[in-house]
Chain A
Amino acid sequence: MTGAAEIVACTDGPLLVRGEFDLLGADGQPVPRVRQTVALCRCGVSSIKPFCDGTHKLIGFQTQPPIATTGNEEDANASSRVSRPGQAGS
């Protein structure tokens, strides 16, 4: 980590934020926060926004573009996360 804060864009999941940072609402007021490292929702369905509640796992949320845009119709039916190749490296 080089800066004061670090944001990890979790595959198929939230944005994990750790380090020194301010979390503000649209009104500029601090969002009440009880833990040092937080996970911010990016699938849109969390019931505790701006925080993640794990629901992205139930809706098949994906952070990678679907494979189906290659013109290969077989891929179009491939079910999302199980058949998608794992991410190489870290």
Chain B
Amino acid sequence: MSSLLLSLLSAGPTRGDTETALEATLKQHLERSGDILRDDDLQLALFLLYSLHYGGVLNVDDRWEWHPITNAARLALEDAFEAQLRRIVHVPALPEPNAEAVAAALFALTAQDSGPSLSRFVASRASVEHLTELVVQRSIYTLKEADPHSWAIPRLTGRAKAAMVEIQADEYGGGRPDRMHAVIFAGTMRGLGLDDTYGRYIDNVPAIILASVNMMSMFGLNRRLRGAIAGHLAAFEMTSSIPNGLYARGFRRNGFGDDVAWYFDEHVEADAVHEQIAGRDLAGGLAESEPDLLPDIMFGAAACLAVDGWSGEQMLEAWQRGESSLRLPLRRLGDG
């Protein structure tokens, strides 16, 4: 599926047989795929389709972004992806639709997330090879950090919009390009001898990592899912400060300096701020203004915890078996 999509995109936006073939191939793959979250081919295809909106991965005709064939393929993939997420993600009981109750429910939900002991492993045991793999896995999202949630800004109003903008302004460095979180992360990559070109390691990561990023893009790009993207950001922020403190410890234990650890240090302080705003003003404010979105707010939060939990478990289990956590291991440090 993804290779056919690539050949179609390279050919430019004209109508022809390849389009029909793409539709048919996608239909077949969706019927055959038992677990779309762990289907490398379908997650890559969806990732490439989203990349038409973000830019930076494929060097193809920009008109593909809004071409009917690419959007039809994206919608078909999203339908299947969302349906599976709604089947397998357990959504907790709904709180009252007021900001304090929603924030309390989200903090309670994220507190239950024992979280794979990935961050504890990183703090106490991870080697430089483990840390390098962690950064490669994270790079798929983090070099575009905050972008998926920014799609939601014009889809929100009032208190929820102000909260989203307040968080995102900080994510984007508060007006200082060198403090943008994605830019700080690129420095961490270089410090580990990795290539910080966006998309460099797409082939190296397993489907679940692409699924985690694709889920954010889907929630952010579909206005009807604005509840889910708000809940997602709240859960993401609420499970960030403490793990990032542990990651920073793991990097320093391996002899890396402030230049590499800065990204993680930054998130300890930043996300302790963001989690309060995201829980109370973004998710809570949205629930107050649009109570019908409450189930999706909680779904988005639960989906964030579930998918990121699975990707963390997968990484940790591979390391505990003494194996690489990557789909295609790096051949040597800094060369995928």
Contact = CB atoms under 8 A, between A and B. Distances in A.
A67 interface: no
Interface string A73-90: 000000001100011111
B273 A39 contact: yes
B169 A36 contact: yes
A87 to B, nearest CB: 4
B328 interface: no
A37 B273 contact: yes
Contacts of A55: 242
Contact residues of A: prevailing secondary structure: loop
Task: Give the size category of B's interface with A.
Answer: 20 to 34
Contacts of A88: 96, 98, 100-101
B232 interface: no
Nearest to A33: B269
A18 B165 CA distance: 14
A39 B276 contact: yes
A48 interface: yes
A12 B107 contact: yes
Contact of A36 (B96, B170, B241, B269): B170
B272 A11 contact: no
Contacts of B280: 8, 10, 90
A8 B56 CA distance: 40
A32 to B, nearest CB: 11
Given A47-B245, A54-B245, A87-B104, 9 more contacts: A11-B103, A16-B273, A34-B174, A52-B272, A53-B245, A53-B269, A82-B108, A86-B104, A87-B101
Interface of B: 95-96, 98-101, 103-105, 107-108, 111, 166, 169-170, 174, 179, 240-242, 245, 268-273, 275-277, 280, 284, 288
Interface of A: 8, 10-14, 16, 18, 34-39, 47-48, 51-55, 57-58, 81-82, 86-90
13 contacts: A16-B277, A18-B166, A34-B179, A36-B170, A37-B170, A51-B272, A52-B272, A53-B268, A57-B111, A57-B242, A86-B101, A88-B98, A90-B280
